[in-house]
Structure 1
Amino acid sequence: MDLHGTDTAQAARELGVPDERITTIAAQIDGITPANGANTPHSALEEIAGLVAAGRLRVPIAATFPVDQIHAAVGLRSGRHTQGKIVIDL
């Protein structure tokens, strides 16, 4: 699984790993299955929205920032220790 860029996926190919054993969330690479929502059916978004509306799915929010404090939001995210999503309020 390549989580950033395509280097790991390309290295796996060079080592002879079959494409069906490789996945990536960072990019789409011909022949490799993405795990980034690109192949998700359109009905999935409606299903997820329904679960959120019903209170059956909770998305944890670590912090909310107004757009003029985007630098602070990026700083918090760059620490990679947040527990939840960082929201930019437009």
Structure 2
Amino acid sequence: MSEAKTPAVLVDQVSKWYGQVIGLNDVSLAIDGGVTGVLGPNGAGKSTLFKLLMGRLRPSQGSVRLFGIDPWSNAAPYRRVGYVSESERMYD
């Protein structure tokens, strides 16, 4: 019997509210390691999802795991992730 592989990203029934505005509503997904694209129209919640994964926001409900670890309780997963937010600027 093979071992169950822990996904690199696990989002389980995550919602994020900004007051009365819903940023994400009951999102669940599992992503194995590798390169993954996230596509969607403006306002779909892509940036909110990544901010939740990077620990810049806390979910209003649900849970987020990077490599099986809660990013709010342990910063270790961030050593394995590259992330540049939409607000970061790169200069020559």
Scaled by the length of structure 2, the TM-score of the pair is 0.20
Scaled by the length of structure 1, the TM-score of the pair is 0.21
Higher relative contact order by CA 8 Å / sep ≥ 6: 1 or 2? 2
Structure with greater Cα Rg: 1
| Structure with the higher strand share, 1 or 2 | 2
| Structure with the higher helix share, 1 or 2 | 1
